[in-house]
Chain A
Amino acid sequence: MTSKTNGSRVIPYNMLAECVSTTYELVQRIVPEPEMNVLRTGLKYLEPTLIDCIQKADEGLPIIGHHFAFPAEYLYAFDCVPICIEATSYLLAALLPDGSEKYYDLITHWGHPYHTCSSQKGVMGMVLDDLFQFDVITTPTAPCDNTYASYPFFEYEGIPLVLTDMPFLKEEKSYEYFAEQIEMGLDEIGKIIGQEPNYEKLKKCLQIENETLKIELELYELRKAVPCPVESMMSPMSAAAQVFMAGRQEKLDFYKEIYEVVKRNYKRKETPLEEERIRSVWPYMVVFFDLALCEWVDRELGMSILLDIFSYNFYNEIDTSSKDKMLYGMAKKAMDFPMIKQSIEFYEDFLSYFVEMTRDYKADCAIFTSHLGCKQFGSIPQILREALRDELGIPMLIVDIDVGDKRFASIKTVKDKIRMFTNTLL
C-alpha cells in the first residue's frame, strides 16, 4: 500500500486499502489454495480498485458520495471518485477490529438516534471527523426512512446534496419518471463539479455491468446444485463487488475467476464445504461486522448460504443503443437493485418469489437477520416465517441484529442462535 493518508481527501479509503492489502497478504501466506477462494479473489480485485480511487482523489478528481441505491457505475459518466456511503461504513466494519464503531459513536453523540441505520452512521461520523472531503453527495429517495432522514445531515454540513426521486411501486410510469430523475440528477451533479455527463464513457461501464450480469445469473443457477458449489463467503463478497467495483473491469474479472472455480466444482459435484449438511437461504442480509461468520457456517456447521438479499438480482441487461434507452434501463436496474426492489414494492410479491426461490434452491431453512435500521422490513419476518412454514414446511430463524455494529448483538450471540437453530434441524 503506497499512497499516503496525509492530505488525502478520502482517508477511510486509505484505511480500507491498508486492511484489504494486509488481509490479502495474510490469506495468501497462511491459507493453502484453494481454500477461501472467494475471499482471496475478492481482495485481489478490491485492492487495485481502492488504490486507483485513492490515486484519482490525490490527482484532484471530484469525490462523489453516493447511496448504494444509486449504482456507482452511473457516476462514471464523470471523471470522478465514487464513494459509497453505506458500503464504506460496512467494509470498514468488516475489516477493522473495532469496525466503524468510533464513527458510529461520533455521530450518535452529535444527536443521531441510536435506532437509525449503521450503514449511514459510519460515513456521517467520518464527515464529522473530516476524513472525507466530498464535492457532492447523491441519493435516490429510497429505500428507507434512514435514507430520507440521514442524508439531510450532509447538506447541513455544507456538502451539496443531489436527490433523485424514486417512486414507490414499479410500473412503467415509475421507470420513466425515475429515468428522467437520473438524467436531471446527473446534470445537476455535473454542474456542481464542472463537468458534462459523458454518456459514451458511461456506456462502456454499463456494458461491463451487462457482461458481469450474465455471469452472476449463471452463478445463481449453479448455486442451486446439491451440494452447493459456492462458498457462503460469496454473499458478502458479491455485495462488496457490486458496490466497490461497479462498472469496472475488476468486477468482471472477479466474477469470471469465481465462475471458473464454481463451474469446476459443479462438474465434479464438489462443494467447498467439508460436507454440506444444511442448505440455508437468508432472505435479508448476512452479517457485515464479522465476515468470518460465513466461513464459520461452512466449516463448523456444514451449512451453505445459498442466497442472501444481495445475491438475488432481478434486473435486466441495459440496452445501450441510445441515451434514452440507457436511461430507461438504468432506472429499471436501480429500482430492481437488491434491497431496493423489496423496499419499493408490496410484500405480496416478495413473499411469493421468496417462497419460490426457497423451493428452487432446495433449502432446508431460512435465517432472517432483522436489522435495527430497516424499518421497512420490520413487518416481514413473521409473515415470511408463516409463508415458508405453511407452504414449504421450512423453519425460519429470526435474529435481531445491527448488521454493521457488533455491540447490538455480538457475533457470539449470533453464532449461538444459529447453532441452536441448526441443532434442531439435524
Chain B
Amino acid sequence: MNLVNDAFLEIANSIENKYIKFWQDSDKKVIGYYCTYIPEELIHAAGILPYRVRATGHDTTELGDILMVRFTCSFVRASLDLALRGGFDFFDGFLICNSCDHSRRMYELFDMKVFNREGFNKKVPRFYISVPHIISEEGFGWFKQEVEELKEELENAYGVKITDSNLKNSISVYNENRKLLREIHKIRILDNPKLTGADALQISVANTSVPKEVANQELKKILTKLKASEGIKNHKKRIMVVGSLIDDLNFINLIENTGGLVVSDFLCFGTRNFVDDVETNGNPLEKITKRTYFRMSCPRMMDDHENRLKFLKKEIDSAKIDGVILQRINNCDLHGCDNMLFEHDLKDLEIPAMNIDREYVQADLNRLQTRIEAFLEMI
C-alpha cells in the first residue's frame, strides 16, 4: 500500500493548511507551542487549536542566526527564521515551557522580535509553564499548580470557561487519537510493515497540525487502507531512529533510500507521543496533568534515562530492529548526551547502533549517506 499523495499526509509538508483556515474563519483561536510537555487536552478543552511549532520545508536560518548564536539548535533557528518572516502570524497565542535551553528562549524572542515587529499589529498573548526536570511526587505537585494557573490564564485571555465536561470530552478525543496512532504503529512493526518510516512521520506530523476530530477521521481512513494493503515485502534492514526532533522527510528518506526501513522510532513526532493515555476516571484536569508529566520522557527529564532505555529495549524486541540510529541536531546537548549513554547501553546489549550528528537544514547529505550506508552494510 502506498500513501503517496494522500491528502492528509500532504498536510505535513506545509505549515498552514485548509483546516486551520476553516477553524479561524469560524472565529476560533490557534495557540502555537514548542515541545512535548504541554497539556494539549487543556487547550483543546478551551476550544482552541494547539499547534506544535515546526519548520518543515524551511531551509534557511539567516534571520534566526542574527538573534541566536551559531552554536544553538538549527531547528530552533529555522523556526525562529520562519516566524520572523511571518510564518506563524496565524497564531492567536503562544505557549512555551522550559523544555530545552534553545526553544524556551523563544518566549522572549517571539515577544520582542516576532510579535513586536513593524507592521504586525495583532496582540498575541503568551503563556509559560515551568516543568520540573525530575519525575517525583513533589514535582507533580508543582506542575499541577502550573497547569491550574495556565487554565485560569487561558480562560481570562480568551474569555472562555473550561469545564470538567469540556476536559472529559478532550480526553476522549485525544485518547482515541493516540489509540489510532498505536494501531497504525502496530501494523508498522509487522514482519511486512504496512507503511514506511516516511509515511509514519508524515501521519504523525499532519496529526499535530489539524483539529484532533479531523485527524481521528483521517487516521481511521488511513488505517483501513493500510490494513487492506499487502505490506512491504522486500526485506530491508529494520531501523529504529532515536534522538532530536525530526519534522520533515529528508533524514528518514535518506535512510530509506539507502536500504533501511525505519520501522520504529523514539522521537517527539513519533512513538513518544502516543504510548500513554490520560486516565478517564477522577478529576480530569489532574489526570491530564498526570499524563503530561509522567508520560514517556525525553532527556529533559534528568532522572529517567533508565526508563527510556527500557522502552528502547522493548521496542527493539517487538519491532525486530536490526540497528538503531542515534541522531542529534548539532548543539542539542540533551539528545547528544542521552544518545551517548544509549550508545554504551546498546553496545553492552550487543545491539548495533550508530551515533551521528546532523543539521536541521540538511547540508551535508553526502557525509550522512556514506555513514548510513556503512552502518547498514555492517549490520
Contacts and interface: CB of A to CB of B under 8 A. Distances in A.
Interface of A: 110-113, 115-117, 141, 144-153, 155-156, 161, 163, 165, 167-169, 173-174, 177, 180-181, 184, 346-348, 370, 372-376, 378-379, 381-383, 398, 400
Given A375-B333, A378-B102, A383 B134 contact: no
B138 A376 contact: no
Interface stretch (B28-36, B40-48, B64-72, B363-371): B64-72
A148 B69 contact: no
**Range, interface on chain B:** 35 or more
B299 A148 contact: yes
Contacts of A151: 302
B333 A145 contact: yes
A205 B98 CA distance: 33
Contact of A149 (B69, B109, B138, B333): B333
B289 to A, nearest CB: 16
A165 B299 contact: no
Interface string B301-330: 011010000000000000000000000101
A116 B336 contact: yes
Interface string B105-129: 1011100110000000000000010
Contact of A382 (B66, B128, B299): B66
Interface in B5-39: none
Nearest to A142: B133
A149 B102 contact: no
19 contacts: A110-B344, A112-B337, A113-B357, A141-B133, A141-B302, A148-B133, A148-B299, A149-B299, A150-B337, A152-B338, A165-B136, A165-B139, A167-B142, A347-B108, A370-B71, A372-B71, A375-B72, A376-B105, A383-B112
A144 B109 CA distance: 18
Which 9 pairs from chain A and chain B are nearest by CB? A141-B133, A113-B336, A149-B337, A111-B340, A376-B101, A375-B101, A378-B72, A168-B130, A145-B333
B334 interface: yes
Given A115-B330, A165-B134, A165-B139, A379 B108 contact: yes
B230 to A, nearest CB: 41
B63 to A, nearest CB: 11
Contact of A111 (B73, B112, B343): B343
B379 interface: no
Contacts of B128: 169
B337 A379 contact: no
B178 interface: no
A116 B333 CA distance: 6
A390 B246 CA distance: 39
A149 B133 contact: no
Nearest to A378: B72
A346 B108 contact: yes
B300 interface: yes
Contacts of B73: 375
B100 A370 contact: no
B108 A381 contact: no
Given A141-B133, A165-B133, A177 B341 contact: no
Contact of B300 (A113, A148, A374, A382): A148
Nearest to B68: A379
A165 B101 contact: no
Nearest to B301: A148
A153 B336 CA distance: 12
B138 A115 contact: no
Contacts of A111: 339-340, 343-344, 355
Contacts of B105: 347, 376, 378-379
Given A148-B299, A346-B107, A156 B341 contact: yes
B134 A163 contact: yes
B132 interface: yes
A135 B246 CA distance: 39
Given A112-B337, A376-B105, A400 B139 contact: no
Interface string B162-176: 000000000000000
B337 A381 contact: no
A357 B233 CA distance: 68
Contacts of A347: 105, 108
B331 A115 contact: yes
Given A113-B336, A382-B68, A383-B112, 12 more contacts: A110-B344, A115-B71, A116-B337, A141-B134, A149-B299, A149-B338, A152-B338, A155-B305, A378-B69, A379-B69, A379-B108, A400-B70
B303 A163 contact: yes
A145 B101 contact: yes
A374 B112 CA distance: 21
A106 B66 CA distance: 34
B62 to A, nearest CB: 14
A372 B142 CA distance: 32
Contacts of B112: 383
A181 B133 CA distance: 12
Contacts of B66: 382
A361 B359 CA distance: 42
B125 to A, nearest CB: 15
Nearest to A372: B71
B107 A153 contact: no
Contacts of A148: 133, 299-300, 302, 334
B192 interface: no
